[in-house]
Every structure is written in structure tokens, then in C-alpha cells.
Structure 1
């Protein structure tokens, strides 16, 4: 009797073992197929594709450009949630030309400092144009500014707080987070215009960050997907099968969100709607400058504001830049809305003689060569020109602060 029980038990174990082996083999095959599909998608549908910007004469004969854009496309899908400001790039990214620290702050060229306490701390806020999309670490706008001020004889330390898609309100919040930590600057620079305009047009409401309506609807949706697959476990997190399932579920989720939102970025605004939205965008920006100045009195720093150029504000477009506009899929009234907003900001600055607010959208008006690599971002040479213009406006403030720190004349 016992012998029969043992025999049946062994047969059951043998059967279960064979089933498990078959299941494991099937899972391995599925994983290999998923890896192949995932790789094929990256190569043929986006991530592995050559960036169209590389065809610009800006990168002609630039041997570093291909590697730079590989790093850029590796970084691009890794945006993360971050408290108060909503999102930021993944921290601790390290490449040959793009490097982010543990706070997701991009590396900036700064001079060797003999005395950190007497170095002038400069915080530089903005969107991807301050982050300097399209440029290497040492050739960003903040890096060039650091070089210019150092060449003028000032001991400075510039921090690049630029973040992709940030509006001025998000930058204000980021500044407050630094102040709350006790990280107090001497000079604060804000370089804005593009993202405030984009986000206003996108949501048809001034002052919101990008894609805010989608964020409302998808709140907790992605967490529910993560909980289903328990992606916090390292083995599961690395599975291409799970990546594939989550990818397609996210695609379905986003399509559903678009339908629920009835998103149509090509929906035209009437002239009155355009003017109202442009005015509200302008008001929001200048109200933020007041809030920032109120922090000046408490923390002792000096703030400067710069309204940036776009391809729409450049008077003499190269053939490449004309092609960028012609080949874009922007709404037909997109350029008109930006023109209205920029015109209002320019008028406000001139009419009220706004202190330390500078309109430099016309900085490339006399430039015949290609400066823009897309509608918003500029070449490394363009970054240098922007940095030179900013340095010209802040130099007196830097000089004054340098005297205060050194306890006398420079």
C-alpha cells in the first residue's frame, strides 16, 4: 500500500516537473520574442532612429554630434515624477556629453575656485533652452555664462536648473525648494517665454504646466498598472515581456485619455480668444516676477528676467530654418499666438520700464546663418550669444556682489 502511494507521488512530481519545465521554456521564448519586438520598435519607430536635427548644417563636420544625440535619446524617455514641480529628468545620468547629478541638475562648466564662500552663486532657471537641448555640457548657456564672467575676472559658480518643459511658475517653485534647503544664491536668472506660451495654448488656460489635463485623468492610473505587474521587483522590472505589456497598455490608456479630453491641438482660437489668452499669459508671467522679487528682500539675492527668442521671432531665416517651420505640424495660428504674446510682453517691458526684465527675443535678427535646430532650441554658437547678452545685463550686479563678498574693490 505504501509502495503504491510513493509510486503515485513520484509520478505526480514527475508530471509537475515536466509541466514546469515546459512553462519555463515557453516564458523564455516569450521573453526572447518580446526583446526582439522591443528592439525592433526602438530601431524602426523612434528611439533608434537618427535624429532629424543631425542633418542641419549646425552639426556638419561635428564628430561629437551623433554620440550626443544617442545620449539624448537614451535620457529622453526617463522623465520622473518630482514633488511640487510635477516632473524632472532622471537623476544620475552620465554620458560623454550629457551628465546629470543626483538632483537631476545638468553639469555646468565652472572655474576652479580658491574660496567657495567668496564665489558668487548664480542660479539659472528655465526650460530645455537653459538645459540647452542640442548642446554639450560645457557649451550650454549657463556654461558659457560662467566662462564669460570668469574671463571678466569674477569668481562664480553657476548652477543650471533648466528642466525640459518647465514654465516660469515651476521655476519659481524650484527656487523656493532650494531656498527652503538653505541653498541661497547671490544672483538668480530666469530665461523664459517658450514654455509659458506652449502650455497656455495647449490647455487654453494661462499658468498651467504642460499636459495638465492628461495628468488629471491619468492620476493613479499608471500606479494601478504598476501594482498589477509589481514592477518594483528587480527581476520583473527588467522583463521585456512586462515592458511590452505595460507599453501597449500605456498606449491604450493615452488614446483613451485623448478621446476623453477631446484633444485637438489644431483647434483654432478666435482673434478675441487669442488676445485674451496672450494677455493672461503675460499677466501670469509678470505676477511671477513680483513674487520672485518679494523673495529678494528676504534672502538677499538679485534676480534678472530674460524673454527668449524663438524661430518665429528671428527676422532673417536661413533655408534650413524655413524648412523647420514648413515641415512642422503646428496649428496654423500657433505662430500668430506667439507673436501676440511676445508683442504684449515687449510692450509691457518698454511701457513700464520694468527693472531687470529684458526682451532679447530679437537677439538673432541680424543673423543670416542657421541658429535654430528646431522651433525652440539653438546651436552652441547661439548659446554663446545668449550668454554674452545676459552677462552684459547682469555684470553690474555681479560686480556689486563681488565687492560685498570680498569686502572691498574687486
Structure 2
């Protein structure tokens, strides 16, 4: 027989009433712990991924800072400190991107995204030169006074004539973007140019290897993906996770694994490389024609220069500090560069000048990476550019030589 105490301790129905509530509380407690741990792990993963990606960029920057180019240069530390902020870009119609305004000691960018050119006098009716190109012309790795446009302006000034030189170069631009920028500036500028210079080569050559399209802007697939993901983000989903540092890091790891599996390079046959090179040259030729048509209408002379690069054979020239990370920039593209530069070397046109081999015998200290050059190299390239117009002996003071060469418009009002 059950005792009254036992009956009181366990009243009928008590167990069935309390057990479900206790079970729910236990479940919620465990769920809370699991969610908390998951969020902590995701946060740690995101933070670790950010640090790895940041460290990778820091190593690249440190390698460049340690380059012989910057030894003993008082401006070097300031330049690299400012560049981190000056790398910010803004969306621009038609050309897609341009740098945001920036004011510093070594880098200055105006409200239109145009970098400062020293020795340039753009007031009044000064002879006006517009220059277009990628980050090499813009002067990545160089202070305002160490760019090709600044040295070209200095050459004119030292020869006795002050001119207005505008540096419309922009990082990762290709010649089609430069053509569009020229058209936009011609529509807007009150003072039209007397001379338009295009300085191209590396980004145009890289384009067909990077993207399937024959005539698109740089990083086309990446920017296309960003645009399409932005459209998708208007609906409910988890597309925002694709922009996280963790996903970026996992993509980087995946790319490296794939590269190792392929021997570090995308296999290209000679036929494929030649076809890509032909695409580059044909597209550039068409852009040249369009610039010339604009020149005839607006009354300016045009000149096209094909820039040098280490991607056609860098191993004996590049500085040891930079060499370790250059092969990571897709060495499979080198056959395309070799084939393209071979075609351009033999490309003959009155307003086209091949500079691709000008730095072949230069010391390693002229190269910052596979294409960006030191202020000393820029000075040399600007000198060659100036000589192309003025003649090695004439300069702007000798108008007779200029007239004899059919270039009097460069030196006479």
C-alpha cells in the first residue's frame, strides 16, 4: 500500500505536466549555445580571413617599398601612405570607374579624377596636350613630379615653351575606355587639345586572356558579377555572404589549388596565343582610327605609344624584392604578351611608336613590377617621347627642324 507521503510527493499528472516544459527549456538553451558558438566561429573566421587578405596586400606593398627604386628617397614613405587612400575609385558613366579626389604631398587628384601634372600651365591659350593610358601613365609607384606626363611637360618647359599637359591615365583602363574619356572631354572642355597621346600596351594585351569578350573593360567578369549580385540582393536571400572576407579567402584558396593543379598556368597553344594577339592588335587599330577621325574634326594631332613590360621576359631585370610575387600574376599570359608585342613591333603607321623594347637593357632599378616604372625610367621614356616630336637635336626652339619634319604645329602658336 502506498504511503500518504509518497502520494503527496508525486501527485498524479505532475510528471506529465513538467517534463515537456523542461524539455523545451533545455532545447532552447542548447540551441542558444549552438547559435552563439556558430556566430563566434563565423566571426573568428571572418576576422582571420580579413587578416590573411590584408597581410597578403601588405606583403606586396612591403616588397615594393623595399625595391631599390625607393632607397634614399625622402618621398617614398609618404607616397605609399597616401596611395592607400588615393586608390579609392568612384563610379563614372561610360568609363565605369575613376579615382576619387585626393589631396596629399606626393599624390594629388582633382575633382574630375585627374592627377596633378607638374610643369604644366593650363591657363590662357597654352599649347595643350592630353595624355591617356593605364596606371603606368597615371604613375602608380611614382609621385606627381615623377610621372611621364610631368617629365614631358618639364621637357617642353626646359626647351623654352610652357605647355598644358593633362594626365587622363587611370588604373586598369584599356584603350576603349580611354577613347570614351577622350570623347567625353572633347564634349565638355572649352579648350580643345592640340596633341592627344595614347600610352598603352599591358592592359590591352591582358584583356583577351582575362575575359572572353573581344572588347570589354578590365575585370569585366568581376564587375559584371557585382552588378548582377546587386540586382539579386533586392530579393530575400544570402547573396550578401558572397561579399564577405571569408568567401573571398575561400575563393583565393580555390584559385591557388586550381593553379597548382594546372602547373601554375593556363595552357595555351601557339594558335590560341596568336588569335588573342590578333584580337588585341585589331581592336587597337580600330580605336586608333576613331581617334584620328576625332582629330580631323577637332583639329588635334594624335600619337600612339606602345609601352614596355617585363611580361615579355622579366627574369634577368626585375629586382629580387619584387620577383617572388610576379609569377603569381598568371604566368600563362606570357605567350599572349610575346605574340602581341611581336605583332606591334612590326606594326607600321605614321602616328604609332613602339616603345616595347626601350627598357630592355636598363637595370633592375627601373622596374617596380611587371609594368610600372621608376621616376628615372619615366624621365627616359618622356625624353624619347619628346624627341619623337621635336627631333633629338631640335627641341622646341628650332622651328625650322619642326617644319621640315611636318611638326610645326607642335611648336608654333
Q: TM-score, normalised by structure 2?
A: 0.74
When residues 226 and 149 of structure 1 are mapped into structure 2, their CA distance, relative to the original with a 3 A threshold, is farther
Q: CA deviation at 1:335?
A: 1.8
Question: Counterpart in 2 of 1:387?
Answer: 382
Q: Count matched residues.
A: 345
Alpha-carbon displacement from aligned partner over 1:266-319 (angstroms, at most 9, x marks no partner): 422222111111111111111110111011110000000000000134689336
Measured in 1, the distance between the counterparts of 2:320 and 2:408 equals 38
Q: Contact (CA 8 Å) 2:53, 2:249: kept in 1 or not?
A: no
Alpha-carbon displacement from aligned partner over 1:307-359 (angstroms, at most 9, x marks no partner): 0000134689336169627752133432222011000111122xxxx011000
Q: Contact (CA 8 Å) 1:167, 1:209: kept in 2 or not?
A: yes
Measured in 1, the distance between the counterparts of 2:221 and 2:243 equals 21
Question: Counterpart in 1 of 2:150?
Answer: 143
Taking the TM superposition and a 5 Å limit, the aligned residue runs for 1:112-123 are 116-123=123-130
Q: Contact (CA 8 Å) 2:242, 2:248: kept in 1 or not?
A: no
Question: Counterpart in 2 of 1:65?
Answer: 76
Q: Contact (CA 8 Å) 1:311, 1:321: kept in 2 or not?
A: no
Q: CA deviation at 1:83?
A: 0.7
When residues 227 and 378 of structure 1 are mapped into structure 2, their CA distance, relative to the original with a 3 A threshold, is farther
Question: Counterpart in 1 of 2:165?
Answer: 158
Measured in 2, the distance between the counterparts of 1:369 and 1:152 equals 30
When residues 319 and 158 of structure 1 are mapped into structure 2, their CA distance, relative to the original with a 3 A threshold, is closer
Alpha-carbon displacement from aligned partner over 1:241-275 (angstroms, at most 9, x marks no partner): xxxx889547648978999xxx9794222221111
Measured in 1, the distance between the counterparts of 2:74 and 2:235 equals 44
Tell me whether 248-257 or 388-397 shows the greater mean CA deviation: 248-257
Q: Secondary structure of the residue that 2:130 maps to in structure 1?
A: strand
Q: Secondary structure of the residue that 2:149 maps to in structure 1?
A: helix
Q: Secondary structure of the residue that 1:219 maps to in structure 2?
A: helix
Q: Contact (CA 8 Å) 2:109, 2:116: kept in 1 or not?
A: yes
When residues 172 and 271 of structure 1 are mapped into structure 2, their CA distance, relative to the original with a 3 A threshold, is same
Q: CA deviation at 1:198?
A: 1.3
Q: Contact (CA 8 Å) 1:140, 1:383: kept in 2 or not?
A: yes
Q: Contact (CA 8 Å) 2:241, 2:247: kept in 1 or not?
A: no
1:125 and 2:135 correspond: no
Which of the residues 102, 105, 108 maps onto 1:96? 105
Question: Counterpart in 2 of 1:209?
Answer: 217
Q: Secondary structure of the residue that 1:216 maps to in structure 2?
A: helix
Question: Counterpart in 1 of 2:294?
Answer: 295
Q: Contact (CA 8 Å) 1:268, 1:333: kept in 2 or not?
A: yes
Question: Counterpart in 1 of 2:194?
Answer: 186
Q: CA deviation at 1:62?
A: 1.5
Measured in 2, the distance between the counterparts of 1:69 and 1:367 equals 24
Measured in 1, the distance between the counterparts of 2:235 and 2:137 equals 36
| Structure 1 unmatched ranges of 5 or more | 1-29, 229-244, 406-410
Q: CA deviation at 1:105?
A: 0.3
Taking the TM superposition and a 5 Å limit, the aligned residue runs for 1:3-402 are 41=51, 45-46=55-56, 50-76=61-87, 78-90=88-100, 92-111=101-120, 116-183=123-190, 184-222=192-230, 248-249=243-244, 252=247, 266-313=265-312, 317-318=316-317, 320=319, 324=323, 327-349=326-348, 354-395=349-390, 396=402, 399-402=408-411
When residues 321 and 289 of structure 1 are mapped into structure 2, their CA distance, relative to the original with a 3 A threshold, is farther
Alpha-carbon displacement from aligned partner over 1:84-139 (angstroms, at most 9, x marks no partner): 0111112x2111111110001001103557xx333011101000000010100011
Tell me whether 217-226 or 294-303 shows the greater mean CA deviation: 217-226
Q: Secondary structure of the residue that 1:118 maps to in structure 2?
A: coil
CA RMSD of aligned residues (A): 3.4
When residues 182 and 58 of structure 1 are mapped into structure 2, their CA distance, relative to the original with a 3 A threshold, is closer
Measured in 2, the distance between the counterparts of 1:346 and 1:258 equals 38
